Amino acid sequence: MIEIGTFTGYSALVIAEALPEDGKLITCESNTEYAEIASRYFQKSPQGSKIDLEVRPAMETLGGIADHSVDFVFIDADKPSYGRYFDEAMRILRAGGLVFVDNVFWRYKIFKQPITNENARAIAAFNEKVKNEERAEKVMLSVRDGVYLIRKK
């Protein structure tokens, strides 16, 4: 399992809770202050031993992961990089693996034309890219800020 964007570690701990005892989550965070906070909570939690926190740009961490070796990727970091994270997810996922993507409505700014906000433009381009991806089945859910659930064929 891979998480791109740890922040203070809340979602990592929730994912880890759902994993079996020998499950592993690699979570990627480039901000050292946030990583320190997350690390503190991981050490306090019984789920912490399932989590590896990688403190560097996510693309570096993803680059070290073998093809077809993971079951789940959660994309929740810098919005302009979503397309690159998705390409990496498609490379590292096994067939049947899932990508879960947060904020695909970007505060509903993707619906207001013309799109002027930089993150909203990036997200709109990402959504279009995923829509046209033939190697995956996908559904967009109108939960809170929008989530994309994508299954690699």
Question: Which regions of the chain does DSSP assign to beta strands (E)?
Answer: 2-4, 25-29, 51-55, 70-75, 93-102, 136-141, 147-152
Which of 15, 28, 51, 147 touches ligand SAM by CB under 6 A? 28
Instruction: Please count the residues of the chain.
Output: 153
Give the Cα separation of 149 and 73 in Å (integer). 10
**Chain residues 33-52 in contact with ligand SAM, contact rule CB under 6 A:** 34
By CB under 6 A, residue 1 contacts ligand SAM: no
Which of 24, 31, 115, 140 touches ligand SAM by CB under 6 A? 31
Min CB(110)–ligand SAM separation in Å:
17
Of 18 and 137, CB closest to ligand SAM: 18
Task: Yes or no: say if 75 and 85 are a contact pair by the CB < 8 Å rule.
Answer: yes
Half-sphere exposure of 104 (CA within 13 A, CB side): 27
**Chain residues 94-133 in contact with ligand SAM, contact rule CB under 6 A:** none
Residue ranges binding ligand SAM (CB under 6 A): 5-7, 10-11, 28-31, 34, 57-58, 76-78, 81
